[in-house]
Chains A and B, each alone.
Chain A
Amino acid sequence: MLWENIRLALKDMMASKLRTLLSLLGIVIGVASVIAILTLGESATKSITQSIVEGGLEMVTIFPNRSEKASTEFTEDFGEKLMANVKELKTVLPVNSSSATLRNGQNTTSASISGVLSTYADILDYKVASGAFFSLTDNLTSRQVVALGSTIAENLFPDGNAVGQYVSIQRNQAKSYLVVAVMESKDASFNLSFNNGIFIPYNTYAQRFIKPANVGSYVVRIADGADPLVVSDQISAYLDSLVGSDAYNLFSPASLAEMAEQITGTFSTFLSAIAAISLLVGGIGIMNIMLVSVAERTKEIGVRKAMGASPNTIRGQFITEAVVLTFTGGFIGIALGTLLSWLVTDLVDWHLHISYGSFLFAAGFSTLVGVFFGWYPAMKASKLDPIEALNYE
């Protein structure tokens, strides 16, 4: 019986193609937008987390806020203290930063200048393009040496060959620094800028620039194989107990990735809910067309009743028809939505991540819409008086 009804419904749909198409439009648009939103949301999340993961999940950056507690705790000894209290840390690097103006002959540029330890480049997987990052000795002897970020090097030395030359760093008074390294380009992440930065030994920074009472920030590297989310939570917990949650900001790629996922997830859900409204509108369109169909086929209903179709059978026929309509709409919508997602992801260079769950959801939902909005017209059809229906012209 079900197959007969489906066959009949398909026949009817094919008999009036334009009308079918128009009545399906609402469902098609609704489903297509839900699918596109969910698929694009998922693809965006995957792309964002991918770029975060590439930045290095094992890094955590701590920025102290100005507060009384912070000023007593966030000193140069903090690293050791943190290592002692949180397991699974590889190292903690203090970093002091400010901005300065740089000059080489006629070329000037402003840069963020960071005083870092000699292991900084290695720990952050920040590669040298030419020369060599300054050494432990350079730091201990507070030499005036500098490693240039790629953009800075280009600005100051348009012709290249920066290594071995001198730049003047202006801060109260100009001082000459020997360029020991030009770094490769590296994407900025989590308040650490690379290409627009220059790096000098930590002790040189302390001597040459005003020695800050506190360390500007700490770059923490989590031990290999440890769960970055768990460890960064442990760091947070420790810091909360030490200085309180107001005294610092903690940036961890892992937690950011999680946050990004949550945000895009919330967004997708929200937008899908809006798109689902068009499914509702589509459903009303289906109800409308089904009512027209029942009215047009009053005579047919009468004939079927005369041949022994029970009210249930008639109701089943029309509900099946509504469901076949909405399901077809859902199917077209899924195809269109996926196509749209593919076009968009291709355009913005994301990786297309098809969410099969959303297909299932869309198919299920459009079926439900068919049952829900087909019910009333089907009831109407099933309750027709057979004689009146037979005599209907």
Chain B
Amino acid sequence: MAKSVISLYDVRRYYMMGDFIVKALDGVSLAIEEGEFTAIMGPSGSGKSTLMNLIGCLDTPTDGIIQIDGEGTMGMSEAELAFVRNQKVGFIFQQFNLLGKINALENVMTPLLYAGGVGIRERRERAKFALERVGLADRMHHRPNELSGGQKQRVAIARALVNNPSILLADEPTGALDTTTGRQILELFEEINSEGRTVVLVTHDREIGMRCRRQIRLRDGKLEA
């Protein structure tokens, strides 16, 4: 049996909104195994983003246990959480979130900088390799504003892959792209997944969700049966 890379046990995430408690996630338990291609689906406000932020260690739960690659994140310091994000998780955002002042290659090199102990030469080689992997070898020295939407998302995927994380977390990765480009990006995800990497994709688009092998549906902060 494949091991779980992501395990959640009764995870809750509550916010205070004035005098009200918003239960963004209200007792979610799930396990995602290594090599799975999972879509987290649900209408807006259902807790998809909260769930993704928790899996990505950008946020910590109000209650419950989260394990990433077998490691509990409870009680971790900011620096330790940063380390987990750096080593275990690759983020892909709807709006790409590339750094505008540096070129594609430097963008992809950035996570390796935070990994520590990786020399500049190795950083450059690995970033080049990742950009080649997503088919952007000829755009390495362009800045984000010189790239099309699809190219930007490819750079972002290369950046997410460069540190060889266990999990690829994508939040509406095709949301800002046209249909054709979106399909190509999705195909890239499928390719990456077929190489054995766990992919978790947040989407409200049914069509995209159905292309994933597994769907997790959220409604009002709870898993739908």
Contact = CB atoms under 8 A, between A and B. Distances in A.
Interface of A: 1, 4, 8, 11-12, 15, 299-300, 302-313, 386-387, 390
A311 B159 CA distance: 20
A311 B79 contact: yes
13 contacts: A12-B101, A299-B97, A305-B82, A308-B82, A308-B83, A308-B87, A308-B115, A310-B83, A311-B78, A311-B82, A312-B79, A387-B53, A387-B59
B37 interface: no
Contact of B110 (A15, A307, A310, A312): A307
B61 to A, nearest CB: 13
A308 B58 contact: no
Nearest to A308: B86
B58 A313 contact: no
Interface in B58-99: 58-59, 78-79, 82-83, 85-87, 91, 93, 97-99
A309 B97 contact: no
Given A1-B116, A313-B114, A387-B53, 8 more contacts: A303-B99, A306-B58, A306-B85, A307-B91, A310-B78, A311-B82, A312-B79, A390-B97
Interface of B: 53, 56, 58-59, 78-79, 82-83, 85-87, 91, 93, 97-99, 101-102, 110-111, 113-116, 159, 163
A132 B97 CA distance: 95
B58 A15 contact: no
Contacts of A306: 56, 58, 85, 91, 97
Q: Which of A15, A306, A307, A310 neighbours the largest number of chain B CB atoms within 10 Å of its CB?
A: A307
A300 B100 CA distance: 9
A300 B107 CA distance: 12
Nearest to B84: A308
Contacts of B111: 307-308
B58 A387 contact: yes
Contacts of B116: 1
Given A4-B113, A304-B110, A309-B114, A386 B99 contact: no
Contacts of B85: 305-308
The 8 closest A-B pairs by CB, nearest first: A308-B86, A310-B82, A310-B79, A308-B114, A307-B111, A308-B85, A386-B58, A303-B97
Given A303-B99, A306-B91, A309-B114, A390 B58 contact: yes
Contacts of A4: 113
Contacts of B82: 305, 308-311, 313
Contacts of A310: 78-79, 82-83, 114
Nearest to B101: A11
A8 B106 CA distance: 11
Contacts of A300: 99
B25 to A, nearest CB: 14
A307 B58 contact: no
A208 to B, nearest CB: 91
A306 B165 CA distance: 13
B142 to A, nearest CB: 16
Contacts of B78: 310-311
